[in-house]
Structure 1
Amino acid sequence: MNTSTPLHERISEVAATLTPSEAQVAAFIAGNPALVAVSSTVELGTYTSTSDATVVRTAKKLGYANFRELRRSALAASGRQRDPSKVLDDQLGRINSSGSGARRVLRDTADVLTQFEADLDELSWDRAVTAMAGAARVITYGIGPSGCIAEYLSICLNRAGVRSSNIRAAGFALADHLLDLSDRDVVVVFATMRRFREIDVVLNHAAKAGATTILVSETLGVALRDRVDIVLATPPTTTGTSDGVVTGMIVARALDLSVAAQNQTAAVGTMQRLNALRAEIVGGKLDAED
């Protein structure tokens, strides 16, 4: 393997040769290069529920002479992941070399979703669904593109008969939206990549209020695990042409349907009332596609 081969390409090249425990380490490395860059083999063994020996074997299978070389490569990878312009440059390079931009994006997105299904922590998922279904109110939050996911989930939940509100405010305006948080609320935070200060404020205040917190993130699960009740981790997308927002939308859709299924009769009834209201607004019967 070429010594200049980037970390994520190395992982892709040797994926089929890894044992299940080594694959677990490799997946963690791919999703958390910044953390890998400052961790020891023992710490990575703990993070991945494997061992320091497994971490060392994985590093060697990736073509590194030692763990120190892997950490240097992880540091370089994390630097590119934090720079949106470099991520875009890498993605456009993949599009230009693929022959078909549409097929490359579709293939990469399918790969991410397949990985998400394979890595899904069903216990955490069930805990999240149970918490949301039993909440007095589900509050969703996100900034930028993640805010679109949060708003989508809130709309869907309301249409399924689950009381929900969405917060997209940032800066001083955020404070007004946090005043009435209570221990009967569930707060779902979408933070695909970046850890904005507002994310910390929302989590801090939710903890003080006694609200249950759920984090959906591609990169922040490990860093914020001790700050939230439930983490729903999604696979890394910066190494391909897919996007974390796409995965987030799938998570939101699956959460909505899973929660609605807890009280199917109420969910269907709410949708019937919504459709009746729409018909009143347009002055006639709505077709199914409306």
Structure 2
Amino acid sequence: MLNFNWNTEMMSPNQHKIADYIQKNTQQVLLSTEQEISDAVKVSNASVSRFWRSVGYKNLKDFKREVGSELKVSPSGKMNNVMSKVDGQELQYHTLKNSVDHLYKTMEQFSHVSFQEAVDLFIHAQKIHIYSPGPSLGLAELLDYRISRYGMDVHLIDKVGSELFEDLMHFTKEDVVVIFGFIRLLPEANVILKHAEHVGYKTIIITDQLVSEFSTQADVVLFASRGELQEFHSMIAPTFIIENLIIAIGMRNKDKNLDKLDQLSQLRKRYSAELPR
């Protein structure tokens, strides 16, 4: 992974889009023209031209010269090169290729430090609140279902608009809020982040954006690739992150959590006649 360490706080919305695209598709950018980059990001060619100087390069040619020497072929690139040679496959093979690519991109950007920080926050939280709009609801329900078995107190935030305040008033500094922020943050998520500054609770964002205006607002940011804006957005990589969090959390207090699961098995056995599976 090549980390550019750009100052995202000084970027405009269009510059955030360009930077995010470059971070995700660095090798492709090294083979692209400014027009191809602007077409992919859906911004003007002039915006792309101005971008290079704002991040310390003279122009696209200067960027390619400096970055090209640092960048090695990634596992994702190698896998993509092999799979791209297979033509005429059915839909399932195309979907499989995309899924594998998302997983490789996620692992390329995976931060062991950030992941362990997220696990720490889960372990020490008094209560875990999860904000999961739209299609991310299934991810939140999976996380809730699994870690509730460990005895964790989990609350799914289902209120929108001003109704959100009914939940916010109960958040404490001992809590953790998990936010799914794919493509962009909704107004409710922005309010949750702002309110954390007043109350002191910790926040974790799971996102498909590598470079964004909210990347510095949360305590922990975990990346999961889902595809470009114009593509079908896969939940393979976000599910991968969630399942690894579930396992890592369980391993932190292994004996205690296994005991909880044993209690569940005993309950099932004791009342199997009344409540068969």
Change (3 A) 1:156 1:242: farther
Given the two structures, how large is their TM-score scaled by the length of structure 2? 0.69
The correspondence for 2:57, drawn from 52, 71, 74, is 52
Q: Distance in 2 between matches of 1:248 and 1:153?
A: 11
**TM-superposition CA deviations, 1:138-165 (whole Å, max 9, x none):** 2211101112212221221111233322
Q: Which fold has the larger relative contact order, with Cα–Cα distance below 8 Å and residues 6 or more apart in sequence?
A: 2
Q: What aligned pairs does 1:1-290 form with structure 2 within 5 A after superposition?
A: 15=27, 33=41, 37=47, 40-44=51-55, 52=57, 56-58=61-63, 99-219=89-209, 222-238=212-228, 243-283=233-273
Given the two structures, how large is their TM-score scaled by the length of structure 1? 0.66
Secondary structure of the equivalent of 1:183? coil
Report which of the two has the higher share of helix: 1
**TM-superposition CA deviations, 1:186-231 (whole Å, max 9, x none):** 1110112232111111212233210011111112752102321111
Change (3 A) 1:230 1:58: same
Q: Distance in 2 between matches of 1:16 and 1:224?
A: 25
* Conservation of the 8 A alpha-carbon contact between 1:218 and 1:244: no
Aligned-pair identity in percent equals 20
Shift of 1:179: 1.6
Aligned-partner residue type, residue 52 of structure 1: Y
Q: Distance in 1 between matches of 2:211 and 2:268?
A: 40
Q: Distance in 2 between matches of 1:226 and 1:164?
A: 25
Shift of 1:35: 9.2
Moved more, 271-280 or 200-209: 271-280
Structure 2: unaligned runs, 5 residues or longer: 1-17, 32-36, 68-86
Q: Distance in 1 between matches of 2:123 and 2:213?
A: 27
* Conservation of the 8 A alpha-carbon contact between 2:53 and 2:59: no
Q: Distance in 2 between matches of 1:207 and 1:132?
A: 19
Shift of 1:258: 0.9
Change (3 A) 1:280 1:121: same
Instruction: Supply the RMSD in Å over aligned alpha carbons.
Output: 3.8
